[in-house]
A = this chain, B = another copy of it.
Amino acid sequence: MEKIAFIGTGVMGKNMALHLLKAGHEVVVYTRTKEKAVPLINEGAKWAETLGEAASFADVVITMIGYPQDVKEVYLEENGILDHARPDTIVIDMTTSSPSLAREIHKAASEKRIYSLDAPVSGGDIGAREARLAIMVGGDKEAFDKALSVFERMGSNVVYQGEAGAGQHTKMCNQITIASNMVGVCEAIAYAEASGLNPETVLKSISAGAAGSWSLSNLAPRILDENFEPGFYVKHFIKDMGIALEEAEAIQLKLPGLELAKKLYEELKDAGEENSGTHALYKLWKN
Protein backbone atom coordinates (compact mmCIF):
# COMPACT_ATOMS: atom_id res chain seq x y z
CA MET A 1 0.00 0.00 0.00
CA GLU A 2 1.39 3.38 -1.01
CA LYS A 3 3.25 5.58 1.41
CA ILE A 4 1.73 9.01 1.23
CA ALA A 5 3.05 12.48 2.04
CA PHE A 6 0.28 14.95 2.71
CA ILE A 7 1.22 18.62 2.48
CA GLY A 8 -1.31 21.09 3.88
CA THR A 9 -3.66 20.06 6.66
CA GLY A 10 -6.34 22.73 6.70
CA VAL A 11 -10.06 21.97 6.98
CA MET A 12 -10.02 20.04 3.72
CA GLY A 13 -6.59 18.41 3.88
CA LYS A 14 -6.97 17.19 7.46
CA ASN A 15 -10.11 15.20 6.65
CA MET A 16 -8.74 13.87 3.38
CA ALA A 17 -5.54 12.67 5.06
CA LEU A 18 -7.58 11.06 7.82
CA HIS A 19 -9.33 8.80 5.29
CA LEU A 20 -5.97 7.72 3.92
CA LEU A 21 -4.71 6.90 7.41
CA LYS A 22 -7.87 4.94 8.19
CA ALA A 23 -7.46 2.99 4.98
CA GLY A 24 -4.10 1.78 6.26
CA HIS A 25 -1.72 4.01 4.32
CA GLU A 26 1.46 5.20 6.00
CA VAL A 27 1.01 8.94 5.99
CA VAL A 28 3.60 11.59 6.69
CA VAL A 29 2.39 15.16 7.04
CA TYR A 30 4.02 18.49 6.58
CA THR A 31 2.41 21.89 6.93
CA ARG A 32 3.61 25.41 7.68
CA THR A 33 1.96 25.48 11.09
CA LYS A 34 2.69 22.23 12.91
CA GLU A 35 -0.27 22.76 15.27
CA LYS A 36 -2.66 22.09 12.43
CA ALA A 37 -1.13 18.66 11.92
CA VAL A 38 -1.51 17.57 15.56
CA PRO A 39 -4.94 15.91 15.12
CA LEU A 40 -3.45 13.79 12.32
CA ILE A 41 -0.31 12.97 14.30
CA ASN A 42 -2.60 11.81 17.12
CA GLU A 43 -4.24 9.48 14.63
CA GLY A 44 -0.93 7.93 13.63
CA ALA A 45 0.50 10.21 10.96
CA LYS A 46 4.22 10.94 11.07
CA TRP A 47 5.51 14.48 11.15
CA ALA A 48 8.13 15.59 8.62
CA GLU A 49 10.43 18.40 9.68
CA THR A 50 10.90 19.57 6.10
CA LEU A 51 9.11 19.40 2.81
CA GLY A 52 12.05 17.46 1.42
CA GLU A 53 11.78 14.83 4.14
CA ALA A 54 8.08 14.38 3.36
CA ALA A 55 8.60 14.22 -0.40
CA SER A 56 11.49 11.74 -0.32
CA PHE A 57 9.56 9.38 1.97
CA ALA A 58 6.52 8.93 -0.21
CA ASP A 59 5.22 7.01 -3.21
CA VAL A 60 2.47 9.56 -3.54
CA VAL A 61 2.78 13.23 -2.57
CA ILE A 62 -0.49 15.13 -2.16
CA THR A 63 -0.70 18.90 -1.75
CA MET A 64 -3.79 20.71 -0.54
CA ILE A 65 -2.70 24.26 0.16
CA GLY A 66 -3.78 27.86 -0.37
CA TYR A 67 -2.95 29.84 -3.47
CA PRO A 68 -1.20 29.16 -6.79
CA GLN A 69 1.82 31.07 -5.46
CA ASP A 70 2.09 28.53 -2.62
CA VAL A 71 1.72 25.65 -5.06
CA LYS A 72 4.46 27.04 -7.26
CA GLU A 73 6.80 27.47 -4.29
CA VAL A 74 6.16 24.05 -2.84
CA TYR A 75 6.72 22.22 -6.13
CA LEU A 76 9.19 24.26 -8.12
CA GLU A 77 11.45 26.22 -5.79
CA GLU A 78 14.75 24.98 -4.43
CA ASN A 79 14.24 22.25 -1.88
CA GLY A 80 10.69 21.85 -3.09
CA ILE A 81 8.86 18.62 -3.81
CA LEU A 82 10.34 18.04 -7.25
CA ASP A 83 13.85 18.44 -5.83
CA HIS A 84 13.27 15.65 -3.36
CA ALA A 85 10.71 13.23 -4.77
CA ARG A 86 12.15 9.98 -6.14
CA PRO A 87 11.60 9.00 -9.78
CA ASP A 88 8.22 7.25 -10.29
CA THR A 89 6.69 9.14 -7.41
CA ILE A 90 3.20 10.47 -8.20
CA VAL A 91 2.75 14.06 -7.11
CA ILE A 92 -0.84 15.26 -6.92
CA ASP A 93 -1.88 18.86 -6.43
CA MET A 94 -5.44 18.91 -5.10
CA THR A 95 -5.42 22.65 -4.45
CA THR A 96 -7.65 24.65 -6.76
CA SER A 97 -4.93 26.36 -8.73
CA SER A 98 -4.00 27.56 -12.17
CA PRO A 99 -4.24 25.19 -15.16
CA SER A 100 -1.15 26.83 -16.63
CA LEU A 101 0.82 26.21 -13.45
CA ALA A 102 -0.40 22.59 -13.47
CA ARG A 103 1.09 22.19 -16.94
CA GLU A 104 4.33 23.84 -15.81
CA ILE A 105 4.63 21.48 -12.84
CA HIS A 106 3.81 18.51 -15.07
CA LYS A 107 6.59 19.47 -17.46
CA ALA A 108 9.15 19.96 -14.70
CA ALA A 109 8.08 16.68 -13.07
CA SER A 110 8.28 14.73 -16.32
CA GLU A 111 11.87 15.87 -16.78
CA LYS A 112 12.67 14.15 -13.49
CA ARG A 113 10.59 11.06 -14.35
CA ILE A 114 8.09 12.04 -11.70
CA TYR A 115 4.37 11.66 -12.47
CA SER A 116 2.26 14.74 -11.90
CA LEU A 117 -1.52 15.02 -11.60
CA ASP A 118 -3.71 18.06 -11.01
CA ALA A 119 -6.75 16.94 -9.06
CA PRO A 120 -8.80 19.73 -7.52
CA VAL A 121 -11.92 18.82 -5.62
CA SER A 122 -15.44 20.01 -5.07
CA GLY A 123 -17.72 19.20 -2.17
CA GLY A 124 -16.36 21.37 0.62
CA ASP A 125 -15.61 20.44 4.20
CA ILE A 126 -18.60 18.08 4.36
CA GLY A 127 -17.48 16.27 1.21
CA ALA A 128 -13.98 15.93 2.67
CA ARG A 129 -15.30 14.64 5.99
CA GLU A 130 -17.58 12.09 4.37
CA ALA A 131 -15.14 11.09 1.60
CA ARG A 132 -17.69 12.17 -0.96
CA LEU A 133 -15.60 14.72 -2.87
CA ALA A 134 -15.81 15.18 -6.59
CA ILE A 135 -12.21 14.87 -7.81
CA MET A 136 -11.39 16.19 -11.29
CA VAL A 137 -8.11 14.87 -12.59
CA GLY A 138 -5.69 15.98 -15.27
CA GLY A 139 -2.32 14.48 -16.24
CA ASP A 140 -1.07 11.17 -17.60
CA LYS A 141 -3.76 8.52 -17.72
CA GLU A 142 -1.23 5.93 -16.51
CA ALA A 143 -0.58 7.94 -13.36
CA PHE A 144 -4.31 8.45 -12.87
CA ASP A 145 -4.91 4.71 -13.01
CA LYS A 146 -2.18 4.11 -10.44
CA ALA A 147 -3.53 6.78 -8.11
CA LEU A 148 -7.21 5.88 -8.50
CA SER A 149 -7.43 3.76 -5.35
CA VAL A 150 -5.96 6.66 -3.37
CA PHE A 151 -8.47 9.11 -4.86
CA GLU A 152 -11.32 6.74 -4.09
CA ARG A 153 -10.50 6.89 -0.38
CA MET A 154 -11.32 10.61 -0.48
CA GLY A 155 -13.97 11.01 -3.13
CA SER A 156 -17.06 9.42 -4.59
CA ASN A 157 -16.96 11.03 -8.03
CA VAL A 158 -13.45 10.66 -9.43
CA VAL A 159 -13.23 11.56 -13.12
CA TYR A 160 -10.22 11.65 -15.43
CA GLN A 161 -10.56 14.80 -17.50
CA GLY A 162 -7.53 14.70 -19.79
CA GLU A 163 -3.97 15.92 -20.00
CA ALA A 164 -2.14 18.08 -17.46
CA GLY A 165 -4.23 21.11 -16.50
CA ALA A 166 -7.54 19.46 -17.40
CA GLY A 167 -8.41 18.86 -13.75
CA GLN A 168 -7.90 22.53 -12.96
CA HIS A 169 -9.79 23.60 -16.08
CA THR A 170 -12.73 21.40 -15.01
CA LYS A 171 -12.70 22.97 -11.56
CA MET A 172 -12.85 26.36 -13.28
CA CYS A 173 -15.99 25.19 -15.11
CA ASN A 174 -17.42 24.27 -11.72
CA GLN A 175 -16.63 27.69 -10.26
CA ILE A 176 -17.86 29.57 -13.35
CA THR A 177 -21.22 27.79 -13.01
CA ILE A 178 -21.46 28.49 -9.29
CA ALA A 179 -20.47 32.16 -9.60
CA SER A 180 -23.38 33.31 -11.73
CA ASN A 181 -25.80 30.98 -10.01
CA MET A 182 -24.95 32.50 -6.64
CA VAL A 183 -25.68 35.96 -8.07
CA GLY A 184 -29.09 34.72 -9.23
CA VAL A 185 -29.90 33.07 -5.90
CA CYS A 186 -29.00 36.21 -3.93
CA GLU A 187 -30.91 38.50 -6.29
CA ALA A 188 -33.99 36.27 -6.08
CA ILE A 189 -33.98 36.35 -2.27
CA ALA A 190 -33.38 40.09 -2.26
CA TYR A 191 -36.28 40.55 -4.69
CA ALA A 192 -38.54 38.29 -2.61
CA GLU A 193 -37.89 40.31 0.53
CA ALA A 194 -38.12 43.69 -1.17
CA SER A 195 -41.44 42.81 -2.76
CA GLY A 196 -42.97 41.70 0.53
CA LEU A 197 -42.93 37.95 0.00
CA ASN A 198 -41.95 35.39 2.60
CA PRO A 199 -38.68 34.06 1.14
CA GLU A 200 -39.06 30.70 2.87
CA THR A 201 -42.42 30.17 1.18
CA VAL A 202 -40.89 31.30 -2.11
CA LEU A 203 -38.22 28.61 -1.77
CA LYS A 204 -41.00 26.01 -1.45
CA SER A 205 -42.30 27.07 -4.85
CA ILE A 206 -39.03 27.44 -6.73
CA SER A 207 -36.45 25.03 -5.27
CA ALA A 208 -37.85 21.87 -6.80
CA GLY A 209 -38.30 23.17 -10.36
CA ALA A 210 -36.33 24.72 -13.18
CA ALA A 211 -34.77 27.29 -10.82
CA GLY A 212 -33.53 24.53 -8.55
CA SER A 213 -29.86 24.14 -7.74
CA TRP A 214 -27.52 22.92 -5.05
CA SER A 215 -26.97 26.53 -3.99
CA LEU A 216 -30.68 27.27 -3.78
CA SER A 217 -31.34 24.15 -1.69
CA ASN A 218 -28.28 24.35 0.54
CA LEU A 219 -27.20 27.98 0.77
CA ALA A 220 -30.45 29.96 0.43
CA PRO A 221 -31.76 28.50 3.72
CA ARG A 222 -28.51 29.53 5.44
CA ILE A 223 -28.96 33.05 4.05
CA LEU A 224 -32.46 33.19 5.52
CA ASP A 225 -31.05 31.98 8.87
CA GLU A 226 -28.43 34.75 8.61
CA ASN A 227 -25.79 32.07 9.00
CA PHE A 228 -22.83 33.19 6.92
CA GLU A 229 -20.25 30.77 8.30
CA PRO A 230 -17.95 29.64 5.54
CA GLY A 231 -18.61 26.36 3.79
CA PHE A 232 -16.38 27.96 1.20
CA TYR A 233 -14.53 31.25 1.81
CA VAL A 234 -15.21 34.42 -0.17
CA LYS A 235 -11.45 35.01 -0.43
CA HIS A 236 -10.82 31.60 -1.98
CA PHE A 237 -13.70 32.00 -4.41
CA ILE A 238 -12.25 35.32 -5.57
CA LYS A 239 -8.93 33.56 -6.15
CA ASP A 240 -10.65 30.89 -8.24
CA MET A 241 -12.61 33.39 -10.31
CA GLY A 242 -9.40 35.32 -10.91
CA ILE A 243 -7.69 32.20 -12.24
CA ALA A 244 -10.62 31.41 -14.54
CA LEU A 245 -10.71 34.95 -15.91
CA GLU A 246 -6.97 34.92 -16.54
CA GLU A 247 -7.19 31.63 -18.39
CA ALA A 248 -10.21 32.85 -20.37
CA GLU A 249 -8.42 36.04 -21.33
CA ALA A 250 -5.46 34.04 -22.57
CA ILE A 251 -7.75 32.24 -25.03
CA GLN A 252 -9.75 35.40 -25.78
CA LEU A 253 -12.95 34.07 -24.28
CA LYS A 254 -15.33 36.67 -22.82
CA LEU A 255 -17.14 35.63 -19.65
CA PRO A 256 -19.33 38.61 -18.68
CA GLY A 257 -21.28 36.66 -16.05
CA LEU A 258 -18.10 35.61 -14.31
CA GLU A 259 -16.68 39.14 -14.57
CA LEU A 260 -19.77 40.54 -12.91
CA ALA A 261 -19.70 37.91 -10.16
CA LYS A 262 -16.04 38.60 -9.42
CA LYS A 263 -16.69 42.35 -9.27
CA LEU A 264 -19.56 41.79 -6.82
CA TYR A 265 -17.46 39.45 -4.67
CA GLU A 266 -14.68 42.01 -4.57
CA GLU A 267 -17.16 44.60 -3.32
CA LEU A 268 -18.12 42.09 -0.66
CA LYS A 269 -14.49 41.54 0.29
CA ASP A 270 -13.94 45.29 0.48
CA ALA A 271 -16.86 45.40 2.90
CA GLY A 272 -14.86 43.11 5.21
CA GLU A 273 -16.45 39.76 4.31
CA GLU A 274 -13.48 37.89 2.89
CA ASN A 275 -13.67 35.23 5.59
CA SER A 276 -17.42 34.69 5.26
CA GLY A 277 -19.01 31.93 3.20
CA THR A 278 -19.72 32.59 -0.45
CA HIS A 279 -23.46 32.94 0.24
CA ALA A 280 -22.67 36.14 2.18
CA LEU A 281 -22.85 37.73 -1.27
CA TYR A 282 -26.47 38.32 -0.33
CA LYS A 283 -25.32 41.06 2.07
CA LEU A 284 -24.61 43.33 -0.90
CA TRP A 285 -28.38 43.67 -1.37
CA LYS A 286 -29.08 44.02 2.32
CA ASN A 287 -26.81 46.95 3.20
Query: Using a CB–CB distance below 8 Å, which chain A residues touch chain B?
Result: 99, 122-124, 127, 134, 136, 157, 159-162, 166, 169-170, 172-181, 183-185, 187-192, 194-198, 201-202, 204-206, 208-216, 218, 232, 244, 247-248, 251, 253-258, 260-261, 264, 285
CA distance A183 to B136 in the complex (A): 23
Task: State the number of copies, please.
Answer: 2
A75 shortest CB reach to chain B, Å: 21
CA distance A172 to B177 in the complex (A): 21
Q: Which residues of B contact A215 (CB under 8 A)?
A: 210, 213
Q: Which residues of B contact A136 (CB under 8 A)?
A: 205-206
A205 shortest CB reach to chain B, Å: 5
B211 touches A122 (CB 8 A): yes
A210 touches B122 (CB 8 A): yes
B180 touches A176 (CB 8 A): no
Q: Which residues of B contact A161 (CB under 8 A)?
A: 197-198, 201-202, 205
Q: A134-B209, A173-B197, A180-B184 are in contact. List 17 more A-B contacts (CB 8 A).
A: A136-B205, A162-B198, A169-B192, A170-B206, A173-B205, A173-B206, A174-B209, A175-B211, A177-B206, A181-B184, A190-B255, A195-B247, A213-B214, A254-B285, A256-B260, A257-B260, A260-B260
Q: Which of B194, B232, B253 contacts A248 (CB 8 A)?
A: B194
22 contacts between A and B (CB under 8 A): A99-B195, A134-B205, A134-B208, A136-B206, A157-B208, A159-B205, A161-B202, A166-B197, A172-B195, A173-B192, A174-B205, A177-B213, A177-B216, A180-B180, A180-B184, A181-B181, A187-B255, A195-B251, A213-B214, A254-B285, A256-B260, A257-B257
